[in-house]
Structures are given as structure tokens and as C-alpha cells.
Chain A
């Protein structure tokens, strides 16, 4: 009797305390994320009339969005962003999986391997971009030097659109694959050794063990890693910024770079906001896919 009488009151105070403890996080998100995003959509409906600059920003309705759909540079940068996603997400998964399998060997001394995976992760993206720009320099870069030592012609990596895209993709894959590897390595270490021992007894080859045990057991880790990587790939900015600045021409420019230029170099706030809003919608689609997956998997864990 007394218990049922006390329970609701205790619940209430726990609720109040919970709300109080969540308040700082909520406030921070409100000021830094929710309010700016709300103004983003509002700003995207405004623009400066070139014929009447003195009037300042005027309400222009959906004009900025119409402009975007007719803007080749917008479509170009969106297309480059998609290409980076399509190339570097599977690329860093494959390289990351390779690194994880190698790093999962029974090393006596663990730190060189661990640091070898941590250093690329900890390096700022823009530093990785600068370093790879140096690697791909035409006359003095180590890549062309290696090509020439092997008897090939040097390539003009950063001044040819396709080669620049390739070089940037290589840099992105190098930078992101080690984080992939760390996540996959954690997944690998949860696979029970007994599964492999049983397969060994049944006479399964190493390759069969990889396909039949490792890959299926690693699936959740791979999925999470892919989603994380896709969300960061949508925002690709630092590495192409440092390596080519979007060039030659606009051939390696990403959506994020174009938005940055529009807003801060061309100072076209309304148009920049419209582009950012479009990008926001694009990445929310990816995020909601991710949330749907985690919701489903945690729901499944609850049922089991």
C-alpha cells in the first residue's frame, strides 16, 4: 500500500531532476544548433537585390532555390560530393578492413600497430590534405619520384581534373580508413575463437572461414562504420580545400566548399543559406537511415 503511494511522487521528482540535468545539454543544442538551423531556412528566403543594394536583405521567397536548380556550379559540386562518397566510402571500408585484419594478429608488442592506426585518425584533416599535396607535387613529390624510379612518366596529379580527384580520394581514404580499422578491429575481437576452431576441425580453408564466419559476424560493425563514414563524406571539405582549393577550375569542388565560398567569399548570404539548407536535407536523409537502423537493432536486442 505505502509503496504504491510513494512510487508516483518519487517518479515525479526523478523526472524533475532528470529534466534539470538534461537542461544544460538542451540549452546548448538550442543555441548552437536548433536556433541557427531555424534561421538558416529563414535566411534562405532572403536576398539582396543587386539593383537596390541599399535596401539590404529583402524577402525573395523561393528565388534562391530556383537559382540553385539552374546553377551548374551547384550541380557540379553536388556531383563531385556524390563521387567522393561513392569512391571513398567503399574505398576506406576495404582498406580499413584490410588494416583491421592485419592489426588483429597476435603481436607481442602492441603499441606500434595501435599508434599506426591512431595517428591518421588524430591528424587534423587539413594537415593530411597538406601532406598529400606535397606527396603529389609534380616535380618534387614522392609519388612521381617513385613512378619515375619504376620507369613510368610523371603525372600532373593536381592540375588534371581526373587525376586531382584520384589524388584527393587517395588522401581521404588514407585519412579515414584507420578509424574504420579501429571500429572493425573492435568488432573482430568480439568474435569467439571457438567458431574458428570448430571450422578448422571441419576442414574449412582460411578464405572460407573469412567468408562464412568473419564477414557475417562483422556485419553490425561494418554497417555502423559505413554510416559514420557516409555522414562525414557528405561534408567533405578540408582535404580538397588543402590539396587543390577545388581546382583545377571547379573540378574537385565539393558542395561544402561551394557553400563556404558563396557565403564567405562572395558574401551572398541568402544563396549560401539556400545551398546549406539543401545540403542539410541531404544529410538528414542519411542520418535518419542511421537512426532507423540503430532503433531497429536495439529493439531487436530488447526482444531477444
Chain B
């Protein structure tokens, strides 16, 4: 082992480095959120809060409508997820289980279209949404977000659909199922983990998006969480303990999702990436 460390120690140190790299920013924000403004400006800075206070959290809820931001994010993310999963399940089925001409070409076009830079899309999409009167409505984000996750969801579900033996589907059809019936009664239930993984990825993508959310929603009570958090800063002042408290409130839902579904998320990410 390098540096004469025992194998156990090496493994421990490796784990510690990876975990610290991932968690340190969140931990630092958590510590900041418990400090007072006066403690913050002391030099040298304190690491652990001397007199921990929840005051910043109370302020975070009143200074901006953070629960409203969260609700907006939740509505937009869940509805776009449902739409995306539904649409990409149908597409993935057509591309994997049916004998379609130009399958690979269609798949490539699907991927290429979805790799368009969001900023190039944002400029004309803003105009389209304005003309349709959809600015400051949930629909203005739900539709683009469904497209945003379309490729990764299609890829993840396609790889699950592929592994289902064709006999099962054939048997269902002999029993009187139509093809579409077989899709909903056999294929989708059997690939539930894949559908679920796709849904989590789509949800997190939508929850995190910033540029379109910033552009399409300019009314404060329609802002999503990712944009809403930036409203805590003043024109010149950055009340870091307050911003930190708001950040902690905002990342709790994401942390719960990745903690509960960690294996699925890792599986889905690498599948979408490696197979793509």
C-alpha cells in the first residue's frame, strides 16, 4: 500500500476524501445558517457557531415566500416528470419492441434535438410563450422541462424494455391483449424500476433548472426555488446566514430524494451516460 498505510486505513482515507468533498459545502452552509450576523463578521472567523440560533430560519420563511417557491418547483417538477415519463415510455417502446425502420436514426435525432443549448432555445421560446400568453404560468416551464429530460428518460426506459423477453409480450397478446394493452399491462409493470429511475432523473433535472425559470417567470409568487433563493440577496449586501438558512431549506427535498433512492439514481445516471 502507498505510504506504508494498511489496507484498511487507505480505504478509510479514500472514503473520507470523497465524502468530505461532497458534503463540506453543505456542512459549511449549515454551520453558517446557525450563526448570527455579528458572529459572522468576526476575524478570524469562527468555524462552529458560538451561540447557535434558529433565527435565520424564521427570517427565511418571512423574508421571501419560500414555501410558495417550493410549491411552484414541486408543481412544475412533478407535472413535467409525469408528462416526460409518459411520452418517453411510448417512444422507448416503439424504438425497442417494434420493428421500426431507421430506429437508430430516430434515436440519434431525438438525442441531438435535446442537446440544443438551452440559451439558444430560451430566446425564441420566451417570444413564443409571450405570444401565447403563457409567461408566468406553470405550462411555460412544464413543457420545456419535459423535453429537457426526454432523451435520458427514453434511454433509461429503452434499456429496461430491451431486457424483457419477447415471449412474455407474445403470451399476453395470445391472451387477448392488444399491443398497447401489453405495453401497459406487461412491459411497464415489469420495467417499473426503469420507469421509476427515469422519473427521479426528470424530477431532479426540473427541480434544479435555473435559466428558463429565471426567464419565463418574472412574478415573485411564480418563481421556482432555484430562482427564488437568489432573491434573498440585497442590492449590495449578502446576508449570508439568512441565505444559508434558505439554501438549507431548499436542499432538504433533494437530499431526501437522493438519500432514499441513491442506488437507483446512480444506476440511471450511468445508464443514460454510458449507453448514450
Q: Which A residues are closer than 8 A to B by beta carbons?
A: 11, 14-15, 17-19, 21-22, 24-25, 28-29, 31-37, 39-40, 43, 99, 102-103, 105-107, 111-128, 130-135, 137, 139-140, 142, 145, 148-149, 174, 178-179, 182-183, 185-187, 206, 220-221, 224-225, 228, 231, 234-235, 237-238, 241-242, 255-256, 259-260, 263-264, 269, 272-273, 276-277, 279-280, 283-284, 287-288, 290-291, 294-295, 298
Contacts and interface: CB of A to CB of B under 8 A. Distances in A.
Nearest to A11: B99
Contacts, number: 288
When A and B form their complex, which 3 residue pairs have the shortest distance between CB atoms, in order from nearest? Answer: A116-B22, A186-B270, A36-B124
Given A140-B240, A235-B117, A279-B117, A17 B15 contact: no
A125 B149 CA distance: 17
B18 A269 contact: no
13 contacts: A18-B98, A25-B110, A29-B113, A32-B121, A43-B124, A113-B19, A115-B19, A118-B262, A119-B258, A183-B270, A206-B2, A241-B210, A260-B119
A264 B98 contact: no
A276 B123 contact: yes
A259 B119 contact: yes
B120 A294 contact: no
B8 to A, nearest CB: 10
Interface of B: 2, 10-11, 14-15, 17-23, 25-26, 28-29, 32, 40-41, 43-45, 86-88, 90-91, 93-95, 98-101, 104, 106, 108, 110-128, 143-144, 146-147, 150, 154, 179-180, 204, 207-211, 215, 225-227, 229-230, 238, 240, 243-244, 247, 250-251, 254-255, 257-259, 262-263, 265-266, 269-270, 273-274, 276
Contacts of B125: 32, 36
A74 to B, nearest CB: 14
Given A18-B100, A28-B146, A32-B125, A99 B21 contact: yes
B191 to A, nearest CB: 15
Given A24-B87, A127-B229, A259 B98 contact: no
Contact of A149 (B10, B44, B115, B225): B44
Contacts of A114: 262-263, 266
Nearest to B17: A102
B94 A111 contact: no
Contact of A183 (B123, B265, B274): B274
Q: A-side binding surface: helix, strand, loop or mixed? A: helix
Given A126-B226, A264-B126, A276-B119, A21 B91 contact: yes
Contacts of A105: 10-11, 14-15
B215 A264 contact: yes
A57 B118 CA distance: 24
B127 A128 contact: no
Contacts of A273: 123-124
A145 B40 CA distance: 12
A302 B262 CA distance: 33
A224 to B, nearest CB: 6
B276 A224 contact: yes
B144 A32 contact: yes
Contacts of A186: 266, 270, 273-274
A220 B215 CA distance: 37
A277 B116 CA distance: 11
Given A29-B150, A119-B258, A22 B204 contact: no
A34 to B, nearest CB: 7
A43 B127 contact: yes
Contact of A130 (B95, B230, B257): B230
A122 B257 contact: yes
Residue among B14, B20, B209, B244 with most chain A CB within 10 A: B14
B22 A225 contact: no
Contacts of B117: 231, 234-235, 256, 279-280, 283
Contact of B211 (A15, A22, A238): A238
Contacts of A139: 41, 43
